[in-house]
Amino acid sequence: MSLGLEKLASCFQGIIPAMLYTCAKDGTPNAAYLSHVDYVDPTHVALSFQFFNKSRRNIAENPRAVVHLGDPDTAQGWALRLTYERSETSGPIFDRMFWRIEAIASYTGLKGIFKLLAADIYKVESVEPVPEEDGQPDRSAPPLRARPPDPVFTMKALQDLSMQINTADSLEHLLDSIVVGLKRHFNFSHSMIALAGEKPDTLVMIASRGYEQSGAGAEVQFGEGIIGLVAEAKKPIRISGLMRGMLNAYAAKRRAEEKGWCSAERRVPLPGLENPSSQLGVPLMVRGELIGVLCIESETPYRFHEEDKTSIELLGSYLAVAIQNMQLQQDEDQPEPPSQAGPLTSATTGLRATRRELAFYRQEEVVMLDGEYLIRSLPARILWKLLQVREQEGRAEFTNRELRLDKSLNLPDFKDNLETRLLLLRRRLDEKAGDIRLVPRGRGRFALEVTGDLELVERD
């Protein structure tokens, strides 16, 4: 006979904390909150094992337990009567729980402390409603979470987004059309795309929508936050009850700090929403190669359903191919060099005409603008090259090709991702230096527009 466990999918999102009841061999009961309960199959669930606590000791003595779960849609409580079977420290069930907990640990600076030791697998003997937690909300009561439009990923919406993407004629338009399309066709208001960075195991934010700051140029290390974890795992990660998990982790962090097990350093700054409740990160993979990560966030708990993850994973594969094709296409473009030196553009746009200092720090490969960080690595070298040419030759128009041929820039021979770096540079300039701009002039060609005077300084 079916237990009906499949119908409790909403209960496994961690929005309402689960309560685990166990009993020691001397008959003393124990009641404790549990951070994660996951669905395994129609007759099994997995419980997170993170600390050697009383519940775990009781289970070693007496394998019987009861876990109470809450349905965030209906407020109905469910009691699952369980018998412990085994612990898993690898495999898909462990991985799913592990990466979710890693994401929470990453945000709270608790990596290595707030971690999954094992996924404990229990046989579900029975499923019964918790009688005092009756789930028939009266009509005036608000739901525990806003039900997402159902279904989010319609074929029509996918088709519309696909058409929008297909009309993009540059990497910039492609990336923008993705984040705009996610809002227009799927109503995802907050999304961002990070592409593989120049340094190993890093990603660089390149496009976003729905945030006060674009975050363009922000580096994300593999393993940091959901974006870095998706890159590290090369697997999609969906987090629904993020706030509950974070509260739980912060409580553990305070205890760990008191014990001197970890420092009280600030948490890793999270690019994106200050208090995300749901996140979905999808690796953008082409033939096994990670080219970037798409992350969608929401302040609504349980915004992304299982079917959303599956659909957006497919969408991620499509986007990955589209992005890589555009990168390769633009890399292959060979425009004619400018017929004549482009005019030096200065003080023509009505923006402020002040003198600004641009300093290039050779060893760190960083450009500072009026003493503030602007950009680093290859985009910094490119900017410095452009500024020098402008100053020495009076030229303001450039081609991608001449940058590729310039050995001083030290571009890789294969897959230099030049277009991506130029786009990143353009966005950083737009955000941090509105009077210094890179303006596209057709495929593979652009101009450096400057309003006001520049003072170029090189330092070690």
Partner 1 sequence: MIDVNLAEFLHSGLGIHLGTADENKEPSGCRVTAVKVEGDGRHMVAFIPRAASQRVFDNLRSNGRTAVSFARPADDRAVQVKGLMLFSWQAKPDEEAFAQSQWAGFLGQLDGIGLPGAATSSWRVFPSMAVRIKVTAVFNQTPGPDAGAPLK
Q: Is 161 in the site for partner 1 (CB under 8 A)?
A: no
| Contact status: 103 vs partner 1 (CB under 8 A) | no
Which H, E and C letters describe the chain, residue by residue? CCCCHHHHHHHHHCCCCEEEEEECCCCCEEEEEECCEEEEECCEEEEEECCCCHHHHHHHHCCEEEEEEECCCCCCEEEEEEEEEEEECCCHHHHHHHHHHHHHHHHCCCCCCCCCCEEEEEEEEEEEECCCCCCCCCCCCCCCCCCCCCCCCCHHHHHHHHHHHHCCCCHHHHHHHHHHHHHHHHCCCEEEEEEECCCCCEEEEEEEECCCCCCCCCEEECCCHHHHHHHHHCCCEEECCHHHHHHHHHHHHHHHHHCCCCCCCCCCCCCCCCCCCEEEEEEEEECCEEEEEEEEEECCCCCCCHHHHHHHHHHHHHHHHHHHHHHHHHHHCCCCCCCCCCCCEECCCCCCCCEEEEEEECCCCEEEECCEEEEEHHHHHHHHHHHHHHHHHCCCEEEHHHHHHCHHHCCCCCCCCHHHHHHHHHHHHHHHCCCEEEEECCCCEEEEEECCEEEEEEEC
Segment lying near partner 1 (by CB under 8 A), choices 30-38, 173-181, 219-227, 424-432: 30-38
Instruction: Scan residues 111-130 and list those touching partner 1 (CB under 8 A).
Output: 113, 130
68 binds partner 1 per the rule CB under 8 A: yes
Candidates 27-35, 166-174, 285-293, 409-417: pick the segment binding partner 1 (CB under 8 A). Answer: 27-35
24 or 353: CB nearest partner 1:
24
Binding mask 275-304 for partner 1 (x = CB under 8 A): --x-----------------------x---
Q: Closest separation between CB of residue 126 and partner 1, Å? A: 11
Window of 131-139, 197-205, 322-330, 342-350 that interacts with partner 1 by CB under 8 A: 131-139
User: Is residue 263 near partner 1 by the rule CB under 8 A?
Assistant: no
Q: Does 147 bind partner 1 (CB under 8 A)?
A: no
| Shortest distance (Å) from residue 228 CB to partner 1 | 24
Nearer to partner 1, 299 or 370 (CB): 299
Contact flag: residue 29 with partner 1 (CB under 8 A): yes
Instruction: Indicate which single residue of 3, 87, 117, 137 sits in contact with partner 1 (rule: CB under 8 A).
Output: 137
From the list 92-100, 132-140, 389-397, 407-415, the region that binds partner 1 by CB under 8 A is 132-140
Q: Looking at 37-45, 137-145, 218-226, 336-344, which segment touches partner 1 (CB under 8 A)?
A: 137-145
Instruction: With CB under 8 A as the rule, give the number of residues binding partner 1.
Output: 60
Closest approach of partner 1 to the CB of residue 49, in Å? 13
User: Given candidates 4, 6, 7, 28, which one binds partner 1 under the rule CB under 8 A?
Assistant: 28
Residue ranges that bind partner 1, judged by CB under 8 A: 15-17, 19, 21-25, 27-33, 35, 50-51, 53-54, 62, 64-66, 68, 75, 77, 79, 113, 130-138, 140-144, 243-244, 247-256, 259, 261, 277, 301
